[in-house]
Structure 1
Amino acid sequence: MADGLAQAARDGDAAAVAQWLDAGAEVDALSMTRRSALDLAVHAGHSEAVRVLLAAGADPQQRAGEYGELTPLCLAAMYGHTAVVEILLDAGAPTGAQGRMNYVPLVLAATATEHGHPQTVDLLLRHGVDINGVMKDKTPLEWAAAFGKVQMVHQLLARGATPTAKALSEAHAGAKRSPEAAQKYALVVDALHAAGIED
C-alpha cells in the first residue's frame, strides 16, 4: 500500500492518492525507496497531490529528500515549486532553520539555480519570512553574493535585505575563487556599493 500511495504521489495523480488513503494506506508511511508520498509529491511539484496528503494528516515537518536531509518546505523551495511552497506554508510548515542540516528555505530558494527562484523568494517574504534570517552564519543576501547571484542580490536588496560588509567580502572572495565568473561578481559588488556598503 505504501508503494502504491508513493507511486500515485510521484505521478501527481491526486485522485489515486485519495483512493489509496481511503483504502487504508498510512499517509506518512515510507515506500521501498524510504521516501514518503508527501516527500515524492513535493519533489515532483505536484501541488494537488500535496494538498490531498496534507488534508489527510501528512506531517509538513517530516524528513524529505533523497537522504532525509531536508523538510518538505526546503525541498519545494530548492526546486522553486512556488504553488507547493504556498500550500505547505498554509499548512503551518515552519520557515526558519530546519531539517538535519538546519537549512533555511529562503536561502535555498535564493541560491538553488543560476538566478534563484524569484517567485518563490517573493512568496516566502510575503508570508513574513525573515529576509535577514541566518543559515550557517550567513544571511540570504550574503549567500547570494557568495554565489554571484546578481539578479537575486538585486531582488533581496529591493525587498529590504540589510546590505553588509560580509556580503561584499563574500563577493570579492567569490571573484578570487572563480576568475571566470569575475564579471558577475563585479556586478554584485556594484549592487552592494550602490546600497551603501564600501570596501
Structure 2
Amino acid sequence: MEIADQLVRSAGDGDVVEVARLLGQGAVVDAPGRGGRTALDLAAEQGHADVVRQLVGGGADLGQQAGEYQELTPLCLAANRGHTAVAGVLLDAGARTGAQGRLGYVPLVLAATAGDEGHPETVDLLLDRGADINALMKHRTALDWAVRFGQEEMVHRLLGRGAIPSAGTLAAAREHLGLHPEHRRKTEHRRKAERIAAFLLAVGVAPSTNQQPGTESGDLG
C-alpha cells in the first residue's frame, strides 16, 4: 500500500500515532488516497479532532475540497456532522466561516439545519468565533432554512443569538405548510410550523403579502 493510502486510512481510523509516524516518514499531508480523498477530509468527516490537529500542524490545506463529491471543505464537513471539537481545531488554525467550497456552502447553515434539529453546540461555537448569523446560503439565512425545515428548537436558538427575522422569514413558515400538503397529515410537524409562525409574529415580524421568500425549494443540496 502506498504511503498516501496509508495516511488517509489511518486518519480516517483516528490513529494519531500512525498518522504521526507516516508524516515523519515523508508522507505528503494533502496527498489523496486511491478514493480521491485526503487525510484531513476523512479525519474531519469522522470527527477525529486529535488527528485533524496533527494534520493541520503538518500544513494541511484548511480550504481544500472535501466530502464524497468534493463539494465541501473540512469545516463544512465538521459542521454538517456536528463534530464541534474538530470545528474548533479548524477555527483555531484559521479556517474561515463564510461561504466556501465549490458550491458556496456556509458552515453555520449546515450546522443549524443538519438532522432533525441541527447541532446546537456547533452552532454556538461558530457564532462565538465570529460567524455571521445572517450570512446567506442560496439567498437564505440559517434562520430561514430552520424555519423552512420546521426546526423549532433551532429557530428559538438562532433568534436568541441575534438572528434577524424578516417578513420573508414568516412567509417561509407559512409557505412550509402550503408547499408540502403531505405534512398536513403529520399533525406534530404541522403544529411545529404553526408554533414557529406564531412565535415569529410574537417577536415582531409582521406578515407581508409583498415580500416573498427565495425561489429555491427547501432542499439545501
Q: Classify the TM-score, shorter chain.
A: over 0.9
Match of 2:195 among 142, 167, 187: 187
Matches within 5 A, 1:22-101: 22-101=24-103
Please list every run of 5 or more consecutive structure 1 residues that lacks an aligned counterpart in the other structure.
Answer: none
Provide, for residues 91-135 of structure 1, a one-character-per-residue CA deviation record: whole Å limited to 9, x for no partner.
111110110110000000000110100000000000011111111
Name the CA distance, whole Å, in 2 between partners of 1:55 and 1:10. 17
Partner of 1:119: 121
Name the CA distance, whole Å, in 2 between partners of 1:30 and 1:57. 15
SS in 2 for 1:138: coil
Query: Please, what is the CA RMSD of the aligned residues?
Result: 0.8
Greater Cα radius of gyration, structure 1 or 2: 2
Give me the TM-score of the superposition, normalised by structure 1. Answer: 0.98
Name the CA distance, whole Å, in 1 between partners of 2:166 and 2:29. 44
Count of residue pairs the alignment pairs up: 199
Deviation of 1:198 after TM superposition, in Å, equals 2.4
Name the CA distance, whole Å, in 2 between partners of 1:157 and 1:150. 11
Partner of 2:216: none
Deviation of 1:57 after TM superposition, in Å, equals 0.2
Partner of 2:163: 161
Provide, for residues 18-73 of structure 1, a one-character-per-residue CA deviation record: whole Å limited to 9, x for no partner.
10101111100000110000000000000000000000000010000000000001
Q: Which deviates the most, 170-179 or 129-138?
A: 170-179
Deviation of 1:183 after TM superposition, in Å, equals 1.1
Name the CA distance, whole Å, in 1 between partners of 2:157 and 2:79. 16
Partner of 2:145: 143
Partner of 1:128: 130
What is the identity percentage for the equivalent residue pairs of Structure 1 and Structure 2? 54
Please list every run of 5 or more consecutive structure 2 residues that lacks an aligned counterpart in the other structure.
Answer: 208-221
Name the CA distance, whole Å, in 2 between partners of 1:62 and 1:191. 40
Amino acid aligned to 2:175: A
Name the CA distance, whole Å, in 2 between partners of 1:35 and 1:118. 28
Amino acid aligned to 2:31: A
Amino acid aligned to 1:191: F
Runs of 4+ in 1 over 4 A off after TM superposition: none
